[in-house]
Amino acid sequence: MSDNSLRLVWVYPDLLSTYGDQGNALVVERRARQRGLDVQRVDVRSDQPIPTSGDIYLIGGGEDRPQRLAAERLLRDGGLERAVSNGAIVFSVCAGYQILGKEFVNDMGQRQEGLGLLDVVTVRGEGERCVGDVLADIDPRLNLPPLTGFENHQGVTHLGPTAKPFARTRLGRGNGTGDGTEGAYNDTVFGTYMHGPVMARNPLIADLLLKLALDVNALPAIDDRWYEALRAERIAAATQPA
């Protein structure tokens, strides 16, 4: 990418776009444009090849059957793996997060191969579904404020040795493993269970992706009053007594 341009790829909106996750693409695009970047947004449907020249790739959540179809098509295509090998940044939510792992359980109860971009394995939880607001502390190495979002999943995601927890929960169940972890990441690939959409609730995550894509340590300041008001409202709602 050039110094003032960004190619943003929204992966499979026809299969993986539940709970308003497409809002993540809108937030990243807007925050890039507010910094004077020329953004080319590419929405790639599941019958189209994944371009390998993107800078940031976003993947949302989806129901069980669309998740299986998305995983099968992404594996056949291979474009996302090639993009990552070229240095692209990937941020995934819920079903998308599971797809980026080594394997998950599909809608037929079978173990489904994932892309292996994150060292995680997802199994189907035996207890109650993980549903509700989440408040978590993001890995301090990422220098981000607390994570707020909404989880709705049955999967339990176990992290392997090369995956770092994206956050550790104060409220909510996160990965569902009982160890307080939420999501996972490595150098350029991120996964979380947070809907919301997560970028609207946590705009500095969008900024983190932009900084990684631009290879810079800081971005020009912009007006975040709307985002901060939303964050404060959702955090207060999650932490107030029932």
User: What's the distance, Cα to Cα, between the start and end of the chain in Å?
Assistant: 48
Question: What residues are paired with 40 via a beta bridge?
Answer: 7
Q: Which of 130, 153, 158, 195 is catalytic?
A: 195
Q: Give the tokens for residue 196.
A: 């919301």
Is 73 one of the annotated binding-site residues? no
Structure tokens at 239: 């932490």
112 alpha-carbon distance from chain centroid: 20
Per annotation, catalytic residue among 94, 130, 153, 158: 94
Q: Among this protein's residues, is 158 annotated catalytic? A: no
How many whole angstroms separate alpha carbon 76 and alpha carbon 41?
Answer: 23
For every residue of 152-217, which 3-state class applies, written as one string? EECEEEEECCCCECCEEEEECCCCCCCCCEECEECCCEEEECCECCHHHHCHHHHHHHHHHHHCCC
Active site residue 94: yes
Q: How far is CA 94 from CA 2, 90, 210, in A?
A: 31, 13, 21
- Residue 7 is given by DSSP the state E
Catalytic residue IDs: 94, 195
Residue numbers belonging to the annotated binding site for substrate:
129
